[in-house]
């Protein structure tokens, strides 16, 4: 697809922004503990890389995120499928869903840390909890969105409900499910960081807090940079899977830029 602007101008604007930031900080003598200049952030980043302080923490956060994502999406898919297929199951589960949906899930993080301790498990559980809802809702919507004509076609062929599920409902729900998975990946990262803020021994969230306490704001910025790159990479992995799974979906034929810009939390 044709880009809607010049890529050079884009890069130029990015550097112009950084230059403006640098100039403003120097010109107005903004103290480093409030807003460090980009060059300071770069120096802090270099120091961090040399001291290997990022590697271990990054690994921990990544592990928490991926495990939480796997747990959360697996449960969301299972429960979402059960709700979508059984009106009775939905009837009894509905009050719980409504209660949890209204609740900001991050508010549960302190409780989760109390219950599951300061180690890996509380981060995984928190990440899973936050990743869970967007996918469950999308799974229900997707499985219920099966077109009436298509169901009639399957019925006219004497298909069983199981066949209708595997041959029609599930593939038809994949655009919804993949959209939910995309959000769940980023939400899992948020869940892991929040739980690290509440109480942990290692991870990028812990690193941010300790740098913050020692007023190393340039260091905090360097970790933020790492987190945003991590988020970007995780998102790209999902997009890659999505493009393979949904090769047939008309919305996949749009430029990937259009999904990258989508607002989320």
Partner 1 sequence: MPPVSPEKVIAVRQLCKAYATRAEPVPALQDIDFAMDEGEFVAVVGPSGCGKSTLLKILAGLIPASSGGAYLRGTSIAGPRRDIGVVFQAPVLFPWRNVIDNVLLPADVQRLDRASHARLARDLLDLVGLNGFENRYPWELSGGMQQRVAIVRALIHDPAMLLMDEPFGALDALTREQMTLELQRIWLERRKTVVFITHSISEAVFLADRVLVMTPRPGRIAETVKVDLPRPRGLDLIGTASFGNYTRRIRGHFNAANLSGTEL
Instruction: Name, in order, each residue with C-beta under 8 angstroms of 52's C-beta and a sequence gap of 6 or more.
Output: none
Residue 141 class from Cβ within 10 Å (0-12 exposed, 13-18 middle, 19+ buried)?
middle
Which residue carries 């595997």 as its tokens?
A: 166
Least gap, CB of 246 to partner 1 (angstroms): 8
Alpha carbon distance 245, 180 (integer Å): 14
Least gap, CB of 144 to partner 1 (angstroms): 17
Least gap, CB of 164 to partner 1 (angstroms): 9
Contact by Cβ (8 Å): 127, 69: yes
Question: What would the two tokens of residue 250 be?
Answer: 């008309």
Contact by Cβ (8 Å): 239, 182: yes
Nearer to partner 1, 59 or 166 (CB): 166
Alpha helices in the chain (DSSP H): 7-27, 38-50, 53-85, 87-102, 109-116, 120-144, 148-156, 161-164, 170-198, 204-213, 217-245, 257-260
Which is it for the CA torsion 222, 226, 231, 233, positive or negative? positive
Stretch that binds partner 1, among 48-56, 66-74, 169-177, 232-240 (CB under 8 A): 169-177
Residue 250 engages partner 1 in binding (rule: CB under 8 A): yes
Which positions from 101 to 130 touch partner 1 by CB under 8 A, shown as an x/- string?
A: ------------------------------
Stretch that binds partner 1, among 94-102, 134-142, 167-175, 227-235 (CB under 8 A): 167-175
Residue 173 engages partner 1 in binding (rule: CB under 8 A): no
Least gap, CB of 250 to partner 1 (angstroms): 7
Least gap, CB of 176 to partner 1 (angstroms): 14
Residue 158 engages partner 1 in binding (rule: CB under 8 A): yes
How many residues belong to the chain? Answer: 265
Nearer to partner 1, 124 or 181 (CB): 181
Question: What would the two tokens of residue 38 be?
Answer: 């980009």
Least gap, CB of 147 to partner 1 (angstroms): 8
Nearer to partner 1, 74 or 153 (CB): 153
Which positions from 39 to 58 touch partner 1 by CB under 8 A, shown as an x/- string?
A: --------------------
Residues in contact with partner 1 by the rule CB under 8 A = 147, 149-150, 152-159, 163, 167-168, 171-172, 174, 248-250
């Amino acid at each position: 697809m044709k880009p809607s602007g010049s890529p050079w101008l884009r890069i130029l604007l990015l550097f112009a922004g950084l230059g403006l930031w640098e100039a403003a900080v120097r010109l107005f003598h903004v103290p480093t503990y409030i807003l460090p200049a980009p060059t300071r952030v770069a120096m802090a980043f270099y120091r961090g890389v040399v001291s290997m302080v990022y590697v271990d923490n990054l690994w921990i956060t990544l592990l928490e995120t991926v495990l939480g994502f796997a747990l959360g999406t697996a449960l969301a898919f299972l429960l979402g499928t059960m709700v979508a297929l059984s009106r009775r199951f939905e009837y009894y589960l509905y009050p719980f869903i409504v209660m949890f949906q209204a609740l900001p899930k991050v508010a549960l993080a302190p409780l989760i840390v109390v219950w599951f301790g300061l180690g890996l498990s509380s981060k995984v559980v928190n990440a899973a909890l936050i990743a869970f809802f967007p996918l469950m809702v999308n799974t229900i919507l997707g499985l219920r969105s099966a077109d009436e004509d298509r169901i009639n076609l399957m019925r006219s062929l004497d298909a069983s409900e199981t066949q209708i599920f595997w041959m029609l409902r599930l593939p038809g729900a994949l655009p919804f499910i993949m959209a939910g998975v995309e959000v769940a990946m980023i939400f899992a990262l948020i869940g892991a960081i929040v739980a690290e803020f509440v109480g942990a021994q290692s991870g990028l969230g812990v690193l941010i807090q300790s740098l913050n306490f020692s007023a190393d704001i340039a260091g905090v910025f360097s970790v933020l940079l790492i987190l945003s790159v991590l988020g970007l990479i995780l998102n790209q992995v999902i997009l890659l899977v999505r493009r393979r799974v949904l090769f047939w979906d008309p919305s996949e034929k749009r430029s990937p830029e259009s999904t990258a810009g989508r607002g989320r939390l």
